[in-house]
Amino acid sequence: MAIAQFPVAVLDCPDPRVLAEFYGALLDWTVEVDDDGSWAEIKADYGQMFCFQRVEEYAAPQWPGQERPQQFHLDVNVDDLDEAEKAVVELGATKHETQPGTTFRVFLDPAGHPFCLCVS
């Protein structure tokens, strides 16, 4: 029997609302933000969720360098890389200058976390 259930990834960031709105729009999930703005969540209809917490003096990870390691990143599957790239850039993502593959593209979310759009 499991000790715990429903693991949730929590991303540190300078502004939880901004990051929750970015990923909420990317995944078409519901966004909820605490009254003081220090915590936000996005939730899928089927229960999966990600959370975002405010960290004072937040420093974005450095990628591909390791001065400030990324620690983890999100991969999301898409049908069309070009269409998905346009959409995430419009949401506030930045395409990273380093693109090490052809079946995925690396972007930085509004707080600087790397994430990849991958051909599904």
Q: Containing domain of residue 53, as a range?
A: 1-58
**Same domain for 67 and 97?**
yes
Distance of CA 66 to the CA centre of its chain: 19
Q: Are residues 43 and 18 in the same domain?
A: yes
Whole-angstrom distance, CA of residue 32 vs CA of residue 3: 27
pTM: 0.83
Q: Which of 37, 58, 79 is the last residue of a domain?
A: 58
Indicate if 105 and 119 belong to the same structural domain: yes
Give me the pLDDT at residue 1, please: 76
Residues 13-29 have a mean pLDDT of: 97
Per-position DSSP letters for 54-111, written without gaps between them: E-TT-----SSS-SS-----EEEEES-HHHHHHHHHHHT-EE-S----SSEEEEE-TT
Provide the residue count of the chain: 120
pLDDT at 24 over 80: yes
- Among 23, 42, 58, the domain boundary falls at 58
Same domain, 42 and 77: no
* CATH number for position 118: 3.10.180.10
CB atoms within 10 A of CB 65: 10
Residue range 76-86: average pLDDT? 93
Do 19 and 65 lie in one domain? The reply is no
Q: Domain total for the chain? A: 2
Same domain for 78 and 68 = yes
For the segment 46-72, what is each residue's pLDDT rounded down to a tens digit? 999 999 999 999 999 988 988 888 877
Mean pLDDT of the chain: 92
Per mean pLDDT, which of 13-22, 59-68, 71-80 is the most reliable? 13-22
Q: What percent of the chain lies above the pLDDT cut of 70?
A: 98
Strands 114-119 and 74-78: parallel
Using the predicted structure, report yes or no on whether residue 75 has a pLDDT greater than 90. Answer: no
CATH number at residue 19: 3.30.720.120
- Tell me: do 71 and 23 sit in the same domain: no
Name every residue whose Cβ is closer than 8 Å to that of residue 97 and which is 6 or more positions away in sequence.
Answer: none
